[in-house]
Amino acid sequence: STRCVFGVDTDEMKSVSVMKGESVTLNPDFIEVQKYLLLQWKFGSTRIAEVNKLAQINSTYDGPDGRFRDRLKLDQTGSLTITNTSTTDSGLYQLMGVQKETIYIIFNVTVYEEENSVSVMEGDPVTLNPDVTEIQKYLLIQWMFESTRIAEVNKLTQTSYTYDADGRFRDRLKLDPTGSLTITNTRTTDSGLYQLAIVNRETSYMDYKVIIHRCYVILLQMDEKKSTT
């Protein structure tokens, strides 16, 4: 039998974001994976690591194009660490546990670049501007916030949409035909990773780390001094 177990308590894919150059560790639920005889990690459809408890062997593989060479660390619990991350490491990682049944634990990893980090004060608008050279050749552009679609421009149908499934961005998103996305009346809950997918014959991605700072107002009470004559 097969059952799907995601990396969080709810039925969602676990999203992990990390700055380029840093390490990221994908930790499965230890209670879930400890009973499995074979643990296998895949990046996309390519096997990159494996724990075989019967043979007592841990193996890592270089992955597509050798991109993970000397950058993967795997422990007996199934935790996988990727060191010196690059933007090409972004994507879906799947851990498969095999015994009498098979489970799948899914992680969506995004590696962002520091120069695409934007910070504003709470309440101020923030605009995420894509690279004009990249964006001019698109057929479809799509904005995601923490793996959830929030805006889209379709050049073929000449339509643009903003989405608000959970009500977080209600009436606060503005999207123009160039792909620029503006968030108005920002809140601290808007902080996180925004990803722009640019779709043509191939799909390229641009990542933005947004940080909304809370503004604190400090009131100082001054003691009133009275003068007497």
Give the tens place of pLDDT for each residue, 199-214.
Answer: 888 788 888 889 887 7
**CB burial string 73-111: b at 16+ within 10 A, e below:** ebeeebbbebeebeeebbeebbbbbeeeeebebbbbbbb
User: Tell me: the pLDDT tens digits for 141-196?
Assistant: 999 998 889 999 998 898 999 998 788 899 999 998 888 999 999 998 998 889 99
Taken in order of first residue, the domains within the chain and their CATH numbers are 2-112 (2.60.40.10), 114-213 (2.60.40.10)
Does the pLDDT of residue 5 top 60, yes or no? no
Average pLDDT (26-31) is 74
pTM, 2 dp: 0.53
Q: Rounded CA gap, 111 and 88, in Å?
A: 8
Q: Rounded CA gap, 89 and 70, in Å?
A: 14
